[in-house]
Structure 1
Amino acid sequence: MMPRHHLDAATLVSHAAGALSPAMAAVATTHLEGCAHCRSQLAEAEHVGGLLLLQQQPAAVSPRAAALRSDILARLQQPVPAPAEPAPLPAHPPTDALPRALQPYFGRSWKALRWRWVAPGVHMIRAPETAGDTLVLLKIAPGKSMPLHSHQGSELTQILQGAYDDALGHFGPGDMADLDSEIEHQPIVSPGVPCICVAALDGPLKFNGWLARWMQPMVGL
C-alpha cells in the first residue's frame, strides 16, 4: 500500500532549501525513501528553487560563468522526469536493517534496538545529539493510546510498522504525520501489532491531562 499521508508543501520547500534541522531531515528523508509522490514534489521544489537562484542577476560575471549559467538555466527549464515508482511498503520491514536515514542515530539493526520502558505499553529510544530538536523511536502496544495533546512547535512522525487512528485519519506503514501547533490529537494504535514510528519535534508536547503533564519531565517529550 502506498502512503496516503504526505509531507506538507512547506516542509518539502524547507527540505529542498536545506533548512530543516538534522532531526526533521532524518524523518523527512525516511518518508521520501518510500513515497514517489513526495519525491516528485521535492524535485519540483528543487527545480523552482534553482530557477529562482539562477535568475538573480549578478553585478558582473565572466563570459565563461555567463555561459555556464545559461547552460544550467536551459537544463532546469527542461521537464522534470517522474521518479520511479517504488514497490509498496510492507507491513514489516523485509530485512533487519533500519531505514538508511535513521541509522546514524539508532544503529543499523532492528534487533539491536534497546527499548526503554516509559509507560504501560509504551517504549522509546531517544537519539543523542540532534542539534536541539528531539528525535525518538516510539513503540506502542496494540489498543494503547497516547494522551490527548497538541504541540508547542512542529512535529514530523513517520509510521514504520503497525498503524494508528486519530482525528486526522488512519496512519499506516509509510504514512507521514506533518503537524504544527494548531493540531490536537490522540493517536490510538490499531489491533494486531505494535505501532513503531520515528518522530522529530522542535518543541515539547502540550498535554491536557494532569497525569501526562506530571510524567512529561520523566518521559522528555
Structure 2
Amino acid sequence: MTPRHHLDATTLVSYAAGALPPETAAIASLHFSACGHCRAKLLDAERIGGALVERQLPTWSEGKASILRETMLRALDEAHTVAAPAVHRADRSDEDAMPEVLQPYFGKTFSALKWRWMGSGAHYVRVVGPSGVVLLLLRIAPGKRMPVHGHQAGELTQILQGAYHDALGYFQAGDAADLDSEIEHQPVTAPGPACICVSALEKPLRFPGWFARKLQPVFGV
C-alpha cells in the first residue's frame, strides 16, 4: 500500500540535519520504512545539506573536496538506509512484533503492552522519551470519533493499522500526519480493523471542549 500522506519538507530537512528530537526522529524513520517517496526526498535533503556544508569549509584542492563530498554522502546514505516494508507477513508472530525503531520505547511485541483505557473503544500507551517528547501509541475501535483538538507545537503521527479520516483527508496504514500548531481536527476511525497509530507530541494537545480539558491531565496528553 503506497502512502498518500507524507512528511513535511521541514521535517525532512530537520531529520537529514539530525535536528529532530530522538522520539520524533523514530516516528519519521518509521514512515521512511513505508514510503519510497519520502526516502527519495530525504536523499535530496541530505545532498543539499552536504553541498551547503561544503560551502562553509575552507578552500580545498579539487581532489580533497571530491573525497570529502563522497565520504559525506556515503555516510549519510548509510546512516539513513531503511529496509523496504515487508509485503507479506508469514505468521501471527510477525504481526505481533513491534516495529524495531519503536522497541526501545514500547518493547518488542504488541501483546506485551499494558494498554490503558482512554474512552469508549480507545486505549493508549504513553511513554516520555529522554528529550521530554511524549510518544503515544493509540488503539481505537472502528467508528469512533475522537475529541476536537489542536496542537501547541508539532505532532507527528504514523498510522500502523486501520484508518481514520478528518478535515485533512483519509489516513490509512503507512500514512503520516505531520501537523503544526495551526491545525485543529477531529479524527474519526474508519470501518474495519482497529486503528493503531503512534504519535510524537512535542507539547500537550489543545482541546477547545471543557470536558476533554478536564480529563487531559489524567491521560497526560
Q: TM-score range by the shorter chain?
A: 0.7 to 0.9
Unpaired segments ≥5 residues, structure 2: none
SS at match of 2:14: helix
- Could you say if the C-alpha distance between residues 67 and 100 of structure 1 is closer, same or farther in structure 2, counting changes exceeding 3 Å? same
Q: Which residue of 1 aligns with 2:196?
A: 196
Contact 2:33 2:84 in 1 (8 A): no
Change (3 A) 1:38 1:88: farther
CA distance in 1, matches of 2:15, 2:203: 19
> Percent identical across equivalent pairs?
54
Q: State the AA in 2 paired with 1:52.
A: L
On the 8 A contact 2:117/2:124 being kept in 1, the answer is yes
Q: Which residue of 2 aligns with 1:2?
A: 2
1:115 equivalent in structure 2: 115
Aligned ranges for residues 80-159 of structure 1 at < 5 Å? Answer: 94-159=94-159
| Amino acid in the other structure paired with 2:29 | T
Structure richer in helix, relative to its length: 2
Aligned to 1:205: 205
Segments of 4+ in structure 1 off by > 4 A?
A: 74-77, 83-90
Structure 1 gaps, min length 5: none
**2:160 is matched by which residue type in structure 1?**
L
Between 1:93-102 and 1:106-115, the stretch displaced more is 93-102
2:67 to 51, 71, 92: 71
Contact 2:23–2:129 (Cα < 8 Å) also in 1 = no
Question: How large is the RMSD of aligned CA atoms in angstroms?
Answer: 2.6
Q: Deviations over 1:123-165 (max 9, x none)?
A: 1101243311111101111111210111100000000011000
- Cα distance in 1 for residues equivalent to 2:16 and 2:53: 13
What are the superposed Cα offsets for residues 79-123 of structure 1, whole Å, 9 maximum, x if unpaired?
Answer: x9xx99756598x99532111110110011122121111222111
